[in-house]
């Protein structure tokens, strides 16, 4: 396997998905803005979408891929039996969960958006919409199971392409928004669940080559499957800690009008980079790293770990600097249209600035956690993540009354850096990770290249300050132009300084 090529394939489809996701969100911003309709829809969409991220973006893989890879080495019959048992039990658990939540939906929504209790109309709308979107959880989780099998065979493109379906369907609905009026949020909610079904069918078409499903509704499972499910919950919690922290933030933000929407739009921006710098790399390295750990190939293990961390830093650091320097311009250019007014831009930009401070940590968590998962250890990251979430809650709740929703991205970034540092210290203590000379050499070169890129990007923002003003029609063009120039400059400088080399693309892992 070639790490950069595999990450590139995953990242390509992820970027395409995020571009369509941006088009979806700008249409939502235009037609819903940060209104109470938007708040209600985002709560209804946040829950199944959080589970999509928890399952689809590497967290399900964290427990499944190492276990499944071990079974693959024993032969196709063993791996097929193991996977079928996992699918059957997962289906039963999720079906029961969905049915229970549907029955107790008012209680459920009051738990995830307690601030809505003060507004009965908004609460009832959120309940209705969440009832419609919640089956998406079942469908996308099972679709992610198929992704895990494909990833185990180093097939990453299909899983990365599947989310494009969701964005395309939502865009189609939004194009008819004028005729739908206030019913738009209902049609969007139905579209979410339909997209889950289509993603399930799409991935099943590709996974049939590697997996023959033996569907059997039985709780009787083998010892290996029991071990897998014991690892699953802590792996989902620990690998998805960033998403859990965001969900916690949504709950707290529901007490402030429009705050859920501000956080949603800010979240959409930095998630684009996180999808590549953390999620893509984490997903790609796990199958190969697991196999090398089983074979006890120390040289390959060290190579993959250092290259993964290096690539994560190379991708996340310049993005962090750009978001810190241009958060106002970025939010304004991407969402500042229609119902999304200057106040919405200011508040979302402030949230994006503080989320950006934690972006490298969000990415490193994905990478460091996979070092544990590849060693079949899901408990250690789980306990660290639990402490991180508790820290996030403590900071958010304590300061929320003083400074409002802005404490949520601040707390998320602080708790994520705490998580990263503790993961790193334990990895070092257990001798599960050591820096090699190549990483140390390139670390400083990446920092210098990023700083130089940041200086150019800041200059471009000043140069185009009139064109990037809120009331300008073509401000998004000038933002994209600035980003492309800065990105090309960063790659050029990195190549000259040998922070990145063409030989890396050909290197096998």
The mean pLDDT of 92-109, rounded to a whole number, is 89
Using left for φ > 0, alpha for ψ between -120 and 50, and beta otherwise, residue 299 falls in: alpha
pLDDT at residue 58 above 60? Answer: no
Of the two residues 74 and 180, the one the predictor is more confident about is 74
Give the per-residue pLDDT at 327: 92
Cα–Cα distance measured from residue 374 to residue 382, given in angstroms and rounded to the nearest whole number:
14
Give the per-residue pLDDT at 286: 61
Give the per-residue pLDDT at 423: 92
Give the per-residue pLDDT at 195: 92
The model's pLDDT over 453-468, given as tens digits with 9 standing for 90+, comes to 999 999 999 999 999 9
Closest CA relative to residue 358, chosen from 402, 397, 392, 398: 392
pLDDT at residue 239 above 80? Answer: no
DSSP symbol at 192: H
pLDDT at residue 251 above 80? Answer: no
pLDDT at residue 498 above 90? Answer: no
pTM score of the predicted model: 0.75
DSSP string, 371-384: HHHTTT--HHHHHH
Q: How many Cα atoms are found within 13 Å in the side-chain-facing hemisphere of 23?
A: 16
User: pLDDT class for 349, splitting at 50, 70, 90?
Assistant: very high
Give the per-residue pLDDT at 99: 93
pLDDT at residue 2 above 60? Answer: no
Cβ atoms 186, 124 nearer than 8 A: no
pLDDT at residue 283 above 70? Answer: no
Closest CA relative to residue 303, chosen from 495, 434, 442: 434
pLDDT at residue 291 above 80? Answer: no
The mean pLDDT of 125-153, rounded to a whole number, is 87
Domain count, the chain: 1
Cβ atoms 41, 186 nearer than 8 A: no
Please give the C-alpha separations between residue 22 and each of 99, 196, 265, 327, 359, in angstroms, as whole numbers: 32, 19, 10, 16, 19
Cα–Cα distance measured from residue 93 to residue 101, given in angstroms and rounded to the nearest whole number:
12
Give the per-residue pLDDT at 420: 93
Domain range enclosing 464: 3-214+222-506
Give the per-residue pLDDT at 57: 53
The mean pLDDT of 15-43, rounded to a whole number, is 77
User: pLDDT class for 284, splitting at 50, 70, 90?
Assistant: low
């Amino acid at each position: 396997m070639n790490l950069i090529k595999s990450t590139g394939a995953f990242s390509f489809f992820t970027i395409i998905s995020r571009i369509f996701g941006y088009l979806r969100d700008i249409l939502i911003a235009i037609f819903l803005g940060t209104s109470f309709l938007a708040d209600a829809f985002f709560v209804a969409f946040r829950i199944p979408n959080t589970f999509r991220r928890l399952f689809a973006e590497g967290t399900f893989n964290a427990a499944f891929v190492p276990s499944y890879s071990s079974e693959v080495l024993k032969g196709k019959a063993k791996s097929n039996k193991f996977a079928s048992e996992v699918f059957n039990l997962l289906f039963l658990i999720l079906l029961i969960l969905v049915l229970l939540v549907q029955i107790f939906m008012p209680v459920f929504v009051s738990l995830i958006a307690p601030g809505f209790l003060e507004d009965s109309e908004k609460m009832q709308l959120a309940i209705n919409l969440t009832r419609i979107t919640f089956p998406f959880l079942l469908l996308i989780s099972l679709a992610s199971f198929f992704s895990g099998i494909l990833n185990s065979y180093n097939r990453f493109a299909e899983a990365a392409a599947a989310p494009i379906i969701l964005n395309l369907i939502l865009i189609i609905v939004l194009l008819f928004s004028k005729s739908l009026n206030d019913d738009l949020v209902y049609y969007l909610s139905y579209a979410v669940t339909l997209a889950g079904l289509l993603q399930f069918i799409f991935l099943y078409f590709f996974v049939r080559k590697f997996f023959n499903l033996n569907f059997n509704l039985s709780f009787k499972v083998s010892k290996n499957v029991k071990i897998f499910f014991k690892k699953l919950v802590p792996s989902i919690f620990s690998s998805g800690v960033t998403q859990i922290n965001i969900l916690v933030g949504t709950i707290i933000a529901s007490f402030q009008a429009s705050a859920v929407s501000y956080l949603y739009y800010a979240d959409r921006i930095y998630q684009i980079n996180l999808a590549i710098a953390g999620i893509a790399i984490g997903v790609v390295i796990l199958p190969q790293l697991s196999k090398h750990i089983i074979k006890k190939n120390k040289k390959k293990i060290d190579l993959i770990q250092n290259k993964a961390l290096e690539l994560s830093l190379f991708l996340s650091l310049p993005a962090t600097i750009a978001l810190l320097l241009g958060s106002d311009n970025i939010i304004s250019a991407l969402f500042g249209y229609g119902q999304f007014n200057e106040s919405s831009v200011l508040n979302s930009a402030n949230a994006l600035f503080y989320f950006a401070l934690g972006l490298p940590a969000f990415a490193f968590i994905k990478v460091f956690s996979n070092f544990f998962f590849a060693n079949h250890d899901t408990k250690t990251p789980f306990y660290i993540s639990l402490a991180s979430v508790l820290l996030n809650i403590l900071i958010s709740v304590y300061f929320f009354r003083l400074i409002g929703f802005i404490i949520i991205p601040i707390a998320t970034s602080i708790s994520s850096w705490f998580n990263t540092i503790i993961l790193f210290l334990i990895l070092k203590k257990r001798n599960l990770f050591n820096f090699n000379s190549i990483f140390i050499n390139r670390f400083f070169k990446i920092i210098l290249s990023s700083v130089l890129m940041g200086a150019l990007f800041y200059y471009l923002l000043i140069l185009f300050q009139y064109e990037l003003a809120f009331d300008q029609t073509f401000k998004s063009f000038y933002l994209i132009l600035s980003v492309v120039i800065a990105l090309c400059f960063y790659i050029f400088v990195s190549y000259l300084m040998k922070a990145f080399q063409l030989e890396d693309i050909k290197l096998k892992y």
